[in-house]
Every structure is written in structure tokens, then in C-alpha cells.
Structure 1
Amino acid sequence: MKTLKDLVLLGNPLLYKVSSPIKKSELPLVTKWVADLDNVMKEIRMKYNFGRAIAAPQLGIMRRLIYMNIEKPIVFINPEFTYMSDEKMEIWDDCMSFPNLLVKVKRHKKVTIKYLDENWETQKWELKNDLSELLQHEYDHLDGILCTMRAIDLKSFKWR
């Protein structure tokens, strides 16, 4: 079981790599990966008092997998955005891989995401506002993009 000490931190080259799609034959591994993601997210919540979702690359699992748990757990396998609104919003973004730093970014106000669930069934979800921002942040991790790379300007950083 992975723990907080396994979290990939800012500066680690893994955070800048593009993750590979999950193959159907790897579905049995997804259950273990999700358990690891859930465990680390719970530890982050205990230590830092935040954390609604986590991407697999943050634990060195270089696959296109996002785990979100707000009211109930949701697993996003090989997600892709099918719509991103022109309208954007500015927010202070945080990240488990650098938990004490906040970064001001612009994100799309509304998105639609298509993904496979843990039963390998296609799902589609329209998200807006904070959930839209959250999924864009996690999706960026799958492409090796950090919110530090999306900072609005050089003054868009602050300590928590």
C-alpha cells in the first residue's frame, strides 16, 4: 500500500512526463492503484486539510487514471475532454505534490469529460466551476503539466 511518503513532489521529473493509456488487460491493476490513490489522499486530508482528487502520476503510476472522492468515489480511466467552455475563471490552485504553495491560474468554467469507469464502461460528465477546475488540474497531471506552468503571471504564487 502506497503512503504519503510515496507522493511524487515538485521537482521530480516524473511529474513532467505524459502518462500512457490504460489497456483493458490492466483493469485488475486499477483496483490496487485506486486503493493506493485513496490511501494517499486520506493522508493528505489528515495532514494538510485539503484533497478532493488525485492523479496516478502523483504516485509514480504513469497511467491515465484520476481518482476523485468528494461525496462518493469516482474513477476516471483514460479521460478526455470533449468540450471546454470559452468562458474562464481565475482561481488559486493547490496541489498535493506541493501542498504549501498556491498558484493563481485560469481554467475553463465548464467542461465535458468522457472516460471509462472501473467496469470499462464509457461515461460522460458535464462539470462546472470548482469541479471543472478540479478535473482540469488532475487531467493536466496526465499530460505532465503542473499548475505552476499555468500561472497567470510571475506574481501568481503564494504560500498557504
Structure 2
Amino acid sequence: MFDLITYPNDILKQKTKDVKKVDKDIRKIVNEMKKIMKRNNGVGLAANQIGLDISIFIAESGNKILTFINPKILKFEGEKVLLEEGCLSLPNIWGKIKRYPKVEVEYLDLFGKKKKIKAQGFLAQIIQHEIDHLNGILFAEKAEKLYKIEEIDKQEALNK
């Protein structure tokens, strides 16, 4: 039904539009997003990464996949920390990027109910990464350093 979009593709650079109504069609899209994320060994996926101009992302948290519709970050907490990130839309590219350790987010769930979550650690990182996607920003644009997977493999081999 949908395929993973990789860079360069204009939809990845565009701000997405809010979902007007959360209905069964939206729930079908989210189910498809979950399959695509799992198939590609991801921990998060934004709707524009599968070619849809709507403000939805999913994020893995423990053994659950959370759905965020029309998410808005209400608050950032703590000092930014330098973290490592990759992206399904930028295959084989990793980088170092500064993210806040805690965020508070308001969003709609799969039934259109308004919710809030306070996230920290890896989930906070995923949320910031995916909201960047919804705003048309790729992590590579904010990264302090980028490298290809092959470079990591080479370094690991040298360190053994």
C-alpha cells in the first residue's frame, strides 16, 4: 500500500498538515505505518516518510508502539545532550545531534482523544526526531557530525 520514502524526496522537506478527523482510515494508515517501521527495524516513523502529508508519527516505547496525531511539544526540559541518531529515510547515515533529555507533548490518540505525555531518554529523542520530520526537517540538517555505516563498521573492526 505504502512504501518508505528516502532522501531526496520533496515531501520530506515539507511541513505536514494537521489531521482534521481521526477515523478508521487514519487507523488503517497507522497500522500500515507500524508494519513498515517493523519491517525496516525502525523505532519511529512519520507519515511523510511514507508519502503522506499528514501530521502523524509512531514511536516504539518498550514493547508498545505509541501513536501521536497532530503532536505539539509543550515543554523541553534539561540541558541538550549529544546523542547518536539514524533515520529510515537516510539509509546508512548516522550522526551526532543535540536533543533535550525530556519533553512534554500534547497529541491526539487513535480515537481523537487529546492526551499529554512527559517523555524522557530514548522516547524523548524519538519524539523530537519525528516531530522534526513533521516540520520538514531531517536530522542530518541539525547534526554536528554525520557518517556512513561503513565507517562505523571499519572503526569497530580496527578497535577489535
- TM tier relative to shorter chain: 0.7 to 0.9
Which residue is equivalent to 2:10?
A: 13
Which residue is equivalent to 2:155?
A: none
- Structure 1 stretches of 5 or more lacking a match? 46-50
Q: Secondary structure of 1:144's partner?
A: coil
Normalising by structure 2, we get a TM-score of: 0.88
Structure 1 residue 73 corresponds to structure 2 residue 65 = yes
Of residues 112, 118, 124, the one that matches 1:120 is 112
Which deviates more, 70-79 or 143-152? 70-79
Count, aligned residues: 148
- Structure 2 stretches of 5 or more lacking a match? 150-160
Which residue is equivalent to 2:34?
A: 38
The structural deviation recorded for 1:16 is 0.1
* Alignment map for 1:2-151 (pairs within 5 Å): 2=2, 6-24=3-21, 26-45=22-41, 51-70=42-61, 71-151=63-143
The structural deviation recorded for 1:73 is 2.3
- Summarize deviations over 1:32-64 as a string: whole Å, max 9, x none: 21122111112102xxxxx11100000011100
Normalising by structure 1, we get a TM-score of: 0.88
- In 1, distance between residues paired with 2:108 and 2:18? 11
- In 1, distance between residues paired with 2:18 and 2:131? 12
Kindly name which structure, 1 or 2, has the bigger radius of gyration based on alpha carbons.
2
The structural deviation recorded for 1:86 is 4.4
- Summarize deviations over 1:90-132 as a string: whole Å, max 9, x none: 0111000012100111011110011010111111111112111
- In 2, distance between residues paired with 1:151 and 1:110? 19
- In 2, distance between residues paired with 1:62 and 1:104? 27
Runs of 4+ in 1 over 3 A off after TM superposition: none
C-alpha RMSD of the superposition: 1.2
Which residue is equivalent to 1:48?
A: none
